[in-house]
Structure formats: C-alpha cells, structure tokens
Amino acid sequence: MPDSIIKFNNISYKYSSGTVALNNINLDIIKSKKSVLLGANGAGKSTLMLLLNGILKPTSGTLLFNNQIYSYKRSKIRDIRKSIGVLFQDSDSQLIAPSVYEEITFGLCNISKDKLWIKNQADMVIDSFRLDDIIDKPPHQLSDGQKKRVCLAAIVAMEPEVIVCDEPASNLDPQSTEMMFNYLDKLNRQGKTVIISTHDVNHAFEWADSVIVMNSGKVAAKGTPTEVFSDKELINRCGLKVPTIIEICNKLGINSYPENINMLIKQLKN
Ligand SMILES: Nc1ncnc2c1ncn2[C@@H]1O[C@H](COP(=O)(O)OP(=O)(O)OP(=O)(O)O)[C@@H](O)[C@H]1O
Ligand SMILES: [Mg+2]
C-alpha cells in the first residue's frame, strides 16, 4: 500500500444551514502523487478542501496528516497550514493584503522572523510566477487570472508539503492554464503532494495519478484515470463526461486507452 499523507476517517460535514456537504468520507491521499477531485456542482469538493487546512472542522470523524490526528488548537492549526497550502476557488476570499508583495510575504511573516529568509522566499516566487510587473499593485485591482497566480505564489513561498488547489484553472486563459499546470507538475516532481479539483475531465484524464469522484457529499469512486473513466454508468450518474480521448477510442474500437492525445496519434499512425 503506497504511503498515505492525508487520511479521512468517516468524515462528515454539516453547514450551520443544515446542508450535509460531506457524508461519511473515507479516503487516503497518496503522498507525492497528483490527485484530482471531480464531481458536479455542489458535490462537496470545496468543502472537502476547506477541511484539509482546518478552515472547516469536521462535524464528525477524524482527519490525519502524516498519521497525526488534526488538532484544532491555534498553534497546531498554524502547523497544518504551513504544511498544507490551499488555493481557494474564489481568489477574493484569499487575498487580504494591500499589495501583491505584502500578500506574498504575509504568510511568511507568520511563520518566521528571519527577514533574509522571507525576502529570499518572496524573490523566488516573484521570479517563478513572473509577478515583477504587478508586485506593487493592490490585489483587488488584478484580473482573475493574475489573482490566482498571486494566491498560488503566496502558498508556494511557504513551501508546504501538500498543495491543494480548488479549480486552479478557472478563469485562466489557455497559456496561463498551461503555466499553472506546468508549475504544479514541477512541484510534484520536487516530491510535493498535489490535489486539485476541476470540471475539466480531459485535463483530469491526462494529468492525474489518481482520480476521486464525489457525488452528493460521498466518494463515489477512486482509481486511476483509466479505471474511473472506463465506468460510463458512474460518469453519467455523477454528472460528469467521458474525456474526448476515451470517446474517440470507443468509437474506433480501441480498448486500451492511451495516456494522452499524442500517444493516441502515435498509435493511430502505426
Ligand atoms: N457556506 C455554505 N453554507 C451552507 N451551505 C454551503 C456552503 N458552502 C457550500 N454549501 C453547500 O454544501 C454543498 C457542497 O458544496 P461545495 O461548495 O463543497 O461543492 P463543490 O463540489 O465545490 O461545487 P462546485 O463545483 O460548484 O464548486 C452544496 O450543497 C452547497 O450548497
Ligand atoms: Mg467548489
């Protein structure tokens, strides 16, 4: 059994309005892998992600990080947030500082007093995320795509072990989407565990090591992209769509699905 970095044990979450957003979730997130959460609107993806860094506390059940049960004491939650960075679906709920630079350094100042370290971490992400041109701007004056980039940069600067991104590509143009995923890949190659939610089944199929399908607050399925997307009944029931590559393969009578479009083209040329 591969190493589990985060474990959900019988986790349920009920909002104060009475909505049960998560209903008895049992799930292992595998260390250093890329996991994708899929599910229709309202399936519970964002709620699950907000539980991961302790913004929400389960109504029942236990969450474990590196085999330690989450504690919701202030100092322990600070440690969790240092280790698990969450990019919110809505950037405006994440951005709090008066300038992009202060946004980047805010979290760093919370975990260290070492000014040189803070500056070095900030410089590293300003360069990686190409934030030079907007570094002095107030975050609320940025475009949605720029806001996403700043939010992720602020998370990456803290060097968390786990990076959780709720719909990281929403509102991004195609090149920014590619840049975002390239960056997440780079972090994963450095050993980080990456968890994203998305509605883009094509991207999920090509990108994920593991796909988790949520439906009405429950985990409906978990497996490799091929395992999950081969189950047409599951995909329909959960309000998803089969990736284009699988549709093409099914129409052509190809039973073993290639990992991506380039491999399919190569297979068809031979
Ligand atoms: N702040 C809130 N207060 C009350 N109910 C909420 C709140 N946020 C979400 N919900 C409800 O919890 C359920 C799960 O919502 P959640 O936002 O986790 O879904 P999601 O899978 O992220 O959906 P989407 O794809 O639209 O982002 C839904 O029924 C939603 O209406
Ligand atoms: Mg959501």
The 3 state secondary structure assigned to 59-116 is CEEEEEECCEECCCCHHHHHHHHHHEEEECCCHHHCCCCCCHHHHHHHHHHHHCCCHH
Under 8 Å between Cβ of 22 and 47: yes
- Tens digits of per-residue pLDDT, 98-113? 999 999 999 999 888 9
Query: What pLDDT does residue 259 have?
Result: 87
With cut-offs at 50, 70 and 90, classify the pLDDT of residue 45.
very high
Mean per-residue pLDDT for 16-21?
Answer: 98
Rounded Cα gap, residues 25 and 21, in angstroms: 10
* Superfamily (CATH H level) for 4-269: P-loop containing nucleotide triphosphate hydrolases (3.40.50.300)
Orientation of helix 144-157 relative to helix 115-128, angle to 10°: 140
pTM, two decimals, is: 0.94
Cα 99 from chain centroid (whole Å): 25
> Do residues 228 and 211 make contact, with C-beta atoms less than 8 angstroms apart?
yes
Closest Cα partner for 226 from 240, 210, 244, 215? 210
Measure 269 CA to ligand 2 centroid, in angstroms. Answer: 40
* pLDDT the model gives residue 179: 85
**Ligand 1 and 19: CB distance under 6 A:** yes
Q: Which helix (H) or strand (E) holds 228?
A: helix 225-229
Specify the pLDDT at position 1: 63
Q: Which residues surround ligand 2, an ion (CB under 5 A)?
A: 45-46, 89
Nearest-CA residue for ligand 1 atom 18 is 44
Quote the ligand 1 centre to 49 CA distance (angstroms): 11
The domain segmentation of the chain, as residue ranges, is 4-269
* pLDDT of 256 strictly over 90: no
Q: How far is the CA of 42 from the centre of ligand 2 (A)?
A: 7
Instruction: Give me 77's structure tokens.
Output: 């939650």
Ligand 2 centre to CA of 144 (Å) is: 16
Rg (CA), the chain: 19
- Residues 138, 98: contact at Cβ < 8 Å? yes
Contact 44 CB / ligand 1 (< 6 Å): yes
